[in-house]
Structure 1
Amino acid sequence: MIHLTYEDVTAAARRVSGRVRPLVVAPADGDTWLALEMLQHTGTFKARGAANFVRAHWEAGTLPDAGVTIASGGNAGLACAWAAREQGVRATVFLPANAPAVKVGRLRAYDADVRLVGSEYAEAAEACRAFAEESGALASHAYDHPLIAAGAGTLMEELHQRLPALDTVVVAVGGGGLFAGVATAAHEHGVRVVAVEPEDCRALNAALAAGEVVDVPVASVAADSLGARRVTPLALYAAQEYDVCSVLVPDADIVRARQELWDEHRLAVEHAAGAALAGLRAYEPAEGERVAVVVCGANTDPGDLVPRA
């Protein structure tokens, strides 16, 4: 089975050094810390994978004049556009014609060539594939690529440097790019990983139960970030081979945890970050267990965060 190696992650760390923002770690309660990756470029950890992907191809001489292309109006699209601009190449991003204007505007602010196609993601993805074939542009992916996952794993490398005595890291899982990278590096450092998914977006949990990658239905308040229909083989391998605990959390707990991050820490974050914190509660660490929760994204509308009375 295909899998990441720790050497993949350390190579990524070398490539992205000085190109991404250093991880900020803040104490929470007792033996718990928050890894504030929502402060990263573009607001999420995905900048790490995108930077590694683009830089690796640049170093190998395989970054074409046509630049890179991706189908994503979300965090991956923003990260790809940012990384391409930083490397001085073109990014062409495909998304449905009904995509929110704010996302289109942010992509264009990163100098991306935005192509609006169809009314569904599948149509935009097909247009992206055709464009890559016709133009020679390098096709990227939101999470299903070893370079993307290895780049995400650099987060764990920095977390280990800041908290070398860490026992456990808690991370939300969507398609599995972040999880695969983090779990690979965590295994090297003897750190347990708690993989958190919404009850109705359980691609990794279902794959573990089946022993293979399977399709799952997607329905959650966190589906915009964690709504992958299937997890990557890289993520399944990591979950099967390393010290990983898979937990599921209901939407009500995700919403509550997201609100808690605002009430207690003044962090306005995506529901995916709320899922990670909710997963900590479901996992219930032992007394004295040193745990870090990855607060993974800030691209959210804070208007639904209710001020505490």
Structure 2
Amino acid sequence: MHQLTYGDIKAATDRTAGRIRPVALARVDPGAIRTARRDPLDDREVEPCEVWLAMEFMQHTGSFKARGAQNFIQAHRDATTLPDAGVTIASGGNAGLACAWAAQQQGVRATVFLPETAPAVKVAKLHGYGAEVRLVGAEYAEALAACDEFAAATGALASHAYDHPLIAAGAGTLLEEIHQQIPGLDTVVVAVGGGGLFTGVATAAQHHGIRTVAVEPENCRALNAAIEAGRPVDVTVDSIAADSLGARRASAMALHAARQDGVHSVLVADDGIVRARQALWDHRRVAVEHGAATALAALTAPDQHADDHDLPTRPASAGRSYRPGSGEKVCVVLCGANTDPSDLVTRPPTH
């Protein structure tokens, strides 16, 4: 197994320079996110936390996945290992979009396999990038099996939605940009599906001494289950965010990254994800997908195990929220916005 290193992320940063959009950051209104309570015996004044949103949904193709896809194809272009059959990938949607976009940028054919449950908006976008789209099965694992068969039969270069070092390293470039823009950053909060974004972000974050909070839907907890079992294991996939976070198992790379110091696992309920997504619309007029709102839901969920972020991670008792400490600087990654906004409620303005 390739264990991702900070050197991999630096190489990806150099390789993708000028080919991806730098992340935009927006500060959350002071006081909007509550700070953890101190011990009653601690009489020091509690300072408000400082929370930033990384608006990565503004990236090419609408999600962070463009970073890994660009790094993957550019690396193979540089090594002259791009076959005539092009590239192929299985994806719940966003990784396929990114692969198709990066392939189009490089003049390469792309064949994308998706579950039949993939949102129509993502399928339409794939066609717009010139990809051949094949819908197979009810969930990601079935689409992946079909993709593997296609690659073996045609010689197409198989990419992966998350379980590839070039993909994860490309995703890690996001943390490099965040670190440069927020001096003294303490914590980055990121949603986890199969673990590509998490692996890259956590690897770069550890290098810079930054805590990583890994957030998953409680019924879509591939990484948390892997930490608990000590190895990647299959989990059931049943969440409103399953279209982008619905991996049946986390990668071995992600599990390795999760075992680093300063990584914390949080599980959030679907209703909290829905509320966080609606809050972004209410206060920012930002329409993100449920997977992106999952990260924010960790900071807006009711206090349950909320003050344990100074303790070592104990997977069997994963937090149900993350409450920043006094004066803590936190960045929440809003990783994608390929969503149908019709279910967002537009409320009258309040005064």
Whether these two folds match at TM > 0.5 is: yes
The answer for the alignment partner of 2:324 in structure 1 is 285
CA distance in 1, matches of 2:90, 2:189: 28
Once the two structures are superposed, residues 61-84 of structure 1 have per-residue CA deviations (whole angstroms, 9 ceiling, x without a partner) of 111121101123511111100000
Q: Does 1:263 pair with 2:302?
A: no
1:81/1:295 CA distance change after superposition, 3 Å? same
Cα deviation, 1:210-265, whole Å, max 9, x if unaligned, reads 22211111111111111111111111111112311111111111110110011111
- Offset, 1:272: 1.1
Q: Which amino acid in 1 is paired with 2:8?
A: D
Q: Which residue of 2 aligns with 1:138?
A: 157
Query: How far 1:119 moved relative to its partner?
Result: 6.4
Residue in structure 1 matched with residue 185 of structure 2 by the alignment:
166
Aligned equivalent of 1:183 = 202
Correspondence for 1:302: 341
Query: What are the equivalent positions in structure 2 for 1:48-87 lying under 5 Å apart?
Result: 48-72=67-91, 74-87=93-106
SS in structure 2 at match of 1:277? helix
1:166–1:291 Cα contact (<8 Å) kept? yes
- Equivalent residue letter for 2:70: A
Q: Call closer, same or farther: CA 1:96–1:48 in 2, change over 3 Å.
A: same
Aligned 1:100-139 pairs, distance under 5 A = 101-117=120-136, 121-139=140-158
Q: Which amino acid aligns with 2:153?
A: E
Query: For residues 30-59 of structure 1, what are the alpha-carbon distances to aligned partners after superposition, in whole Å with 9 as ceiling and x for unaligned?
Result: 311000000000100000010011011111
CA contact (8 A) 2:141 2:248 kept: no
Q: Distance in 2 between matches of 1:196 and 1:116?
A: 28
Q: CA deviation at 1:11?
A: 0.5
CA contact (8 A) 2:103 2:110 kept: yes
1:99–1:16 CA distance, 2 compared to 1 (3 A): same
The number of equivalent residue pairs is: 309
The unaligned stretches of length 5 or more in structure 1 are none
8 Å CA contact retained: 1:68, 1:91: yes
Q: 2:107 corresponds to which residue?
A: 88
User: Alpha-carbon deviations, 1:133-189, whole Å to 9, x = none?
Assistant: 222110111101111101000000000111121110000011000000000000111
* Residue 157 (1) aligns with residue 166 (2): no
Distance 1:165 1:56, change over 3 A: same
Residue 218 to residue 123, structure 1, CA distance change in 2 (3 Å):
closer
Which secondary structure does the structure 2 equivalent of 1:26 belong to?
A: strand
Distance 1:96 1:255 in 2: 23
Alpha-carbon separation, structure 2, partners of 1:201 and 1:105: 26
Change beyond 3 A, Cα 1:234–1:120: closer
State the partner residue of 2:241. Answer: 222
Instruction: Give the unaligned 5+ runs of structure 2.
Output: 31-49, 301-320
Asked if 1:15 corresponds to 2:15, the answer is yes
Letter in 2 for 1:275: T
CA distance in 2, matches of 1:25, 1:127: 38
* Amino acid corresponding to residue 157 of structure 2 in structure 1: L
8 Å CA contact 1:2–1:237 kept in 2: the answer is no
1:202 paired residue number? 221
Q: Which has the higher helix share?
A: 1
TM-score w.r.t. the length of structure 2 is 0.84
Aligned counterpart, 1:25: 25
| CA distance, structure 1, for counterparts of residue 279 and residue 101 of structure 2 | 30
Q: Residues 287 and 217 (structure 1 numbering): CA distance in 2 closer, same or farther, change over 3 Å? A: same
Amino acid across the alignment from 1:95:
L
Q: Is the 8 A contact 2:94 2:122 kept in 1?
A: no
What is the rounded CA distance, in whole Å, between the counterparts of 1:206 and 1:239 in structure 2?
A: 11
Paired residue type of 2:17 = S
3-state secondary structure, aligned to 2:345: coil
User: Residue 4 of structure 2 contacts residue 165 of structure 2 at CA under 8 Å; is this kept in 1?
Assistant: yes
Q: 1:249 aligns with which of 250, 259, 268?
A: 268
Question: 1:124: how far off?
Answer: 3.9
**Structure 1: how far apart are the matches of 2:135 and 2:193?**
25
Shift of 1:266: 1.0
- Residue identity matched to 1:196: V
Q: C-alpha root-mean-square deviation of aligned residues, in Å?
A: 1.7
Task: Indicate how the Cα distance of structure 1 residues 290 and 123 shifts in structure 2: closer, same or farther if over 3 A, else same.
Answer: closer
Change over 3 Å in CA distance of 1:230–1:37 after alignment to 2: same
Residues 9-37 of structure 1: CA deviation (Å, up to 9, x unaligned): 01011111111111101111331100000
Change over 3 Å in CA distance of 1:101–1:225 after alignment to 2 = closer
